[in-house]
Amino acid sequence: MPHRRTFPRAVLDAVRATGATQLVLFPNTRSSDTHHWSTWSPQGGPLDEDVALSVRDSANNLAFDMHSYTEAGDSWNGDITVVTDWARANGRRLVLSEVGTENGPAALSTLLTYINSNADVWVGWTAWNLEPYAVSVTDKTTCLVRDTPKMAWYAPYF
| Tens digits of residue pLDDT in 30-57 | 667 888 888 887 777 888 888 888 888 9
Three-state SS string over the chain comes to CCCCCCHHHHHHHHHHHCCCCCCEEECCCCCCECCCCCCCCCCCCCCHHHHHHCCCCCCCCEEEEEEEEECCCCCCCCHHHHHHHHHHHCCCCEEEEEEEECCCHHHHHHHHHHHHHCCCCEEEECCCCCCCCCEEEEECCCCEEEECHHHHHHHHHC
> Domain locations in the chain?
7-157
pTM over 0.85: no
User: In CATH, what number does 7-157 get?
Assistant: 3.20.20.80
pLDDT at 28: 65
Structure confidence at residue 43 (pLDDT): 73
Give pLDDT < 50 ranges for the chain.
1-4, 132-137
